């Protein structure tokens, strides 16, 4: 996270909570590693959502307390996880049949770069060991792809790019982006800002974003948590 993001906008906890507000009741949702895995614990009370993780769980819960840890239950990021009542576990072939069969309403993924045309890069970067995982299947199989990520990388460079400089995970697949600064929608030649995080204004977003961003009657969020 860049220095700017430690001072303004949503924290990672707030960002997960903001994305959780938009997950529809009754939906089937895959979660990528990182911030997306924080979403189950922040779903509004009374809303039923079935979370899928590609290592073979449908009915993923939040992060377990120390006395709740089951050494045999982990998520796709190899972190200890909980399951909800009614959950099921299965092998990779069935897990990816769910993904490839179009049974997921949303895939919520982390990202390194996203563009106004909906391109996403999130599987490798220079100096990192490539890890394709299931990301390419997810961006092809899910009905919607949401990206939840920091607005800038550790060097302060924008992650909302005019075009991706890293190897693509998928082209024209992203439907929504949540960052520390706001909520954005790819609109072809630019991003449309749907909402600004608390304390963030349009000029700040323009200054910290590589891609063009438009603002039309954009509300400012009060709080995501």
For the annotated catalytic residues, the residue numbers are 54
Pick from 148, 118, 113, 144: which is nearest to 18 by CA? 148
Computed on alpha carbons and rounded to an integer, the radius of gyration of the chain in Å comes to: 17
| Long-range Cβ contact pairs of 121-128 (< 8 A, separation 24 or more) | 121/164, 121/165, 121/166, 121/167, 121/168, 121/169, 122/32, 122/147, 122/169, 123/167, 123/169, 124/166, 124/167, 125/166
How many angstroms separate the Cα of 188 from the Cα of each of 86, 200, 211?
41, 24, 11
d(CA 144, CA 108): 8
- Residue 23 DSSP code: S
Helix, strand or coil, per DSSP, at residue 219: coil
In 93-203, the DSSP E strands lie at: 106-109, 113-114, 120-121, 144-148, 176-179, 182-186, 191-196
CA distance linking residue 201 with residue 178, whole number of Å: 16
| Cα gap 54→76, rounded to integer Å | 6
Secondary structure class of 151 (helix, strand, coil)? coil
């Amino acid at each position: 996270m860049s220095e700017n993001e430690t001072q303004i906008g949503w924290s990672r906890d707030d960002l997960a909570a903001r994305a959780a507000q938009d997950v529809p009741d009754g939906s089937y949702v895959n979660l990528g590693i990182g911030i997306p895995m924080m979403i189950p614990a922040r779903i509004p009370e009374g809303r039923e959502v079935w979370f899928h993780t590609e290592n073979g769980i449908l009915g993923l819960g939040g992060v377990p307390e120390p006395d709740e840890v089951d050494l045999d239950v982990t998520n796709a990021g190899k972190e200890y996880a909980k399951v909800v009542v009614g959950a099921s576990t299965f092998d990779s072939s069935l897990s990816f049949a769910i993904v490839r069969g179009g049974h997921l309403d949303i895939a919520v993924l982390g990202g390194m770069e996203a563009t106004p045309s909906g391109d996403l890069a999130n599987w490798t970067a220079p100096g990192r060991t490539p890890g394709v995982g299931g990301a390419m299947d997810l961006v092809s199989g899910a009905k919607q792809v949401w990206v939840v990520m920091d607005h800038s990388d550790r060097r302060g460079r924008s992650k909302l790019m005019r075009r991706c400089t890293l190897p693509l995970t998928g082209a024209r697949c992203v439907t929504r982006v949540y960052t520390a600064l706001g909520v954005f929608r790819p609109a072809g030649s630019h991003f449309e800002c749907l909402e600004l995080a608390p304390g963030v204004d349009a000029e700040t977003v323009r200054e910290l974003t590589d891609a063009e961003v438009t603002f039309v009657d954009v509300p400012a969020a009060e709080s995501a948590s």
